[in-house]
Chains A and B, each alone.
Chain A
Amino acid sequence: MTYPSVYPTGTTIYDPKRCFNGYTVFQARERGALVIDMNGAEVQLWEGFHGLPNKLLPGGHILGSSGERHTAFGMQDYVDVVQADWDGNIVWKFDRYEYIEDPGESPRWMARQHHDFQREGNPVGYFVPGMDPKVTEGNTLILSHKNLRNPEITDKMLLDDVIIEVTWEGDVVWEWVCSDHFESFAFSEEAKNILCRNPNMRPAGGGMGDWMHINSMSVLGPNRWYDAGDERFHPDNIIWDARETNIIAIIDKTSGKIAWKIGPDYGIDNKLKALGWMIGQHHAHMIPRGLPGEGNILVFDNGGWAGYGAPNPGAPTGIKNVLRDYSRVVEFDPVSLEIVWQYTPKEAGLVHPMDSNRFYSPFISSAQRLPNGNTLITEGSGGRIFEVTAGHEIVWEYISPFWGKLMRMNMVYRAYRVPYSWIPQLEAPREVPIEPLDVTTFRVPGAAPPGPRRVVNVEGVLPYRSSSALCVQADLDDDEPK
């Protein structure tokens, strides 16, 4: 999050031998759905094609949306879910979820999709060996919105999250409404109190409470927990996470009930305390069978500000009352809740906590497990996509050069890597290694070269010492001799 005014964009680090090489797709800010190769070449842009997110399908097809509802009336409502082929032809489209009549706008059907969707055949929407999503058939799970009132939560209009299952023919055959399960989330009385008074009110449509804000939804798929008899992890069950409540939950596909969850309170037992608070997290999903870490849950834990509870100086009314100024990617065992792998400021080589905010995206972002055990991380707010090894080395990095005119950010919501074979229209590109620049010697044109012109000595100076001289305690202090 601490950026200089000038820095390179595009691919900045690339070690082909240690990467899972392929194409990366993401929504380039206010440009469209973009596919880049490992060297950052923009191999195809579906111009103006929206996506929260965009996902590739085998055969060079792409999923996304034709556009967003007017923001005066809707909050992140995408009008449809569209599948287009390599040439931009629409192959499949769904919008018949709700008929919307916004003032001054043409009445129309809308999917009200937001944040996620999953095509049958693949549980998570990214490459898994042997689990290709269906391209010419199959149902699609869609995360959507519905406005409703629920007096158990508040008397205010709610922007609720719903998950629907839609057939290839466009019929809705399953629906799950989040607020129906309010009591199952076990909010504290303090949380219920602030939820009642302010369910995260947003101004769209005259005011609506985006109380849960689910931002990820995927299927568990086959997994070792269910094989061992744990019904909570039935392969058809659906996992989601919600940034406003810090909850990660699995719902039983048959009954709709909450089968498993962590949050909203991470202080209620030692396991959760050891896992640590999830804050405003994104893209929580079970790593699918066939990928390293299968069965574990992988999540981009943003930090930032989220949750409902007791007021504190950082949250005077109790809304967004949990705060943290850095991010972490966590892979954990859903039964023991033990952390199996993580990428935090410490693994990033940053001095914690002073420099931790260099790995920080307080919103959006994601993490994809790759077949070689690497993890593709989207640190979204700064438009940074990078691939790290299990040993936390960065082997590929890309900075989005696409700043918006309407939103002056180069943010990337979520990026996905697919193998070259998913786009048969293209020949596999040449992979050119890029050594990381040495930023201590790299200079822009016109800047002076590094190194002092003259060096003098002062008698009696002492050697530099470690971090103990900093104004706040650093984790490095723990390593120092006592």
Chain B
Amino acid sequence: MALTVFTATDCLRCNVLKRFLNERGISFDEKDIKSGGKADFTSFYARHRTAVHRGKDGIEFPILVDGPEIRQGLGPSLAYLTAGKGLDGLVRASTRTHEWIDGLSLAGDDPAQTDALLSILRHLNACGMKTVLHTDGRQAAVLEKILKENLAHRLVMDVLGPPGIYREVFGNDRILQEIRASLRLVVRFPEYRFRLVISGFPRKPGDAPAYGVLTPEDIGEAARMIQETTGSDRHPCVVAAGCWNGENEDPEKPRQSFSQGDLFPYRSRARRYQVFTEIEKKEESPL
């Protein structure tokens, strides 16, 4: 089945997607909603309302349709064309406007996924787009490659806890080497930010309770790890409230989250080692 791409006249992101398709010789049927394609889109939208997000500024284009598969936004469309469903969850619709694009995550250690993401970043870069890339610090070597090729303009790194948490979750010290290498790389990007994410984690066997939420002291130690690894206490940092399911991540339990007021002790602790730490606002985009 041929691809359909809903676009809007003079839409920068639509042009970037069309260039991607044309360069790879992929045929598609373009429906420009401002130039004859409005009726088709109206009909499509009426049948697929749940798949099309309408934000406060309206509907974001392009929208890629491949039979039952629908992807809205440049990032998810490129991800689908590059890796099918392989990057679902790692590439989301961008919250940025104009030439900036976010929603791209570097996570996991699947080489195929990594290659696909690099391919997307190269195309975006070639088209003059500026990318905001998310990482959890687990692929330092790929991060280094991205840095060398100037494929990301802003880096956001989630720091998931103090060293002990990484050891506990991943069961080895190798992960810490990886995280520390990423910390050192992130600060070399033109713009960057560390997110100290407050989330749940399993405690060591014998600890009570067996599952817990990071404490202000934990977040302070995470900030300290950044300071000790990078040699500076003046990086852009935010404390970010994660979500968790509670003990043993029981999916039946309602997810819990912090209120703004709960976060102040975390910020105070983090500021001991990263003096510019702020609390991430709910509506705040990653950078």
Contacts and interface: CB of A to CB of B under 8 A. Distances in A.
> Nearest 10 CB-CB pairs, A to B?
A99-B275, A171-B268, A173-B264, A172-B264, A172-B268, A174-B261, A171-B265, A99-B276, A175-B264, A174-B264
Contact of A96 (B234, B265, B271, B276): B271
B267 interface: yes
Contacts of A172: 264, 267-268
A100 to B, nearest CB: 9
Nearest to B216: A171
19 contacts: A96-B268, A96-B271, A99-B234, A99-B271, A99-B275, A99-B276, A109-B275, A171-B264, A171-B265, A171-B268, A172-B264, A172-B267, A172-B268, A173-B261, A173-B264, A173-B265, A174-B261, A174-B264, A175-B264
A174 B262 CA distance: 9
Nearest to B281: A180
Contacts of B271: 96, 99
A173 B260 CA distance: 10
A365 to B, nearest CB: 33
Nearest to B267: A172
Among B265, B267, B275: residue with most chain A CB under 10 A: B275
Interface in A462-476: none
Contacts of B234: 99
Contacts of B264: 171-175
Interface residues of B, number: 9
Interface in A92-108: 96, 99
Contacts of B276: 99
Contacts of B267: 172
A175 B276 CA distance: 16
A96 B268 CA distance: 8
Contacts of B265: 171, 173
Contacts, number: 19
Interface in B255-287: 261, 264-265, 267-268, 271, 275-276
Interface string A138-180: 0000000000000000000000000000000001111100000
A175 B259 CA distance: 12
Among B261, B268, B271: residue with most chain A CB under 10 A: B268
Given A96-B271, A109-B275, A174-B264, 11 more contacts: A99-B234, A99-B275, A99-B276, A171-B268, A172-B264, A172-B267, A172-B268, A173-B264, A173-B265, A174-B261, A175-B264
Contacts of A96: 268, 271
A171 B217 CA distance: 13
A173 B267 CA distance: 10
Interface of B: 234, 261, 264-265, 267-268, 271, 275-276
Contacts of B268: 96, 171-172
A305 B234 CA distance: 41
Nearest to B274: A99
A193 to B, nearest CB: 22
A99 B232 CA distance: 14
A175 B271 CA distance: 16
A175 B278 CA distance: 12
A171 B272 CA distance: 11
A109 B233 CA distance: 13
Contacts of A99: 234, 271, 275-276
Contacts of B261: 173-174
A172 to B, nearest CB: 5
A96 B270 CA distance: 12
A352 B264 CA distance: 52
Nearest to A99: B275
A36 B275 CA distance: 41
Among A109, A171, A174: residue with most chain B CB under 10 A: A171
Interface in A107-123: 109
A96 B276 CA distance: 11
A96 B264 CA distance: 12
Nearest to B271: A96
Nearest to A164: B264
A330 to B, nearest CB: 34
A171 B271 CA distance: 11
A97 to B, nearest CB: 9
Contacts of A174: 261, 264
Nearest to A177: B281
A174 B276 CA distance: 18
Contacts of B275: 99, 109
Nearest to A256: B260
A441 B276 CA distance: 64
B96 to A, nearest CB: 14
A99 B272 CA distance: 11
B281 to A, nearest CB: 9
A172 B278 CA distance: 12
A174 B261 CA distance: 6
Nearest to A96: B271
Contacts of A171: 264-265, 268
B267 to A, nearest CB: 7
A173 B266 CA distance: 10
Nearest to A254: B261
Nearest to A171: B268
A109 B272 CA distance: 11
Contacts of A109: 275
A138 to B, nearest CB: 17
B206 to A, nearest CB: 31
A268 to B, nearest CB: 29
B45 to A, nearest CB: 30
Among A96, A99, A174: residue with most chain B CB under 10 A: A99
A99 B267 CA distance: 13
A175 B279 CA distance: 11
B61 to A, nearest CB: 24
A183 to B, nearest CB: 14
A392 B196 CA distance: 59
A200 to B, nearest CB: 24
Interface in A165-223: 171-175
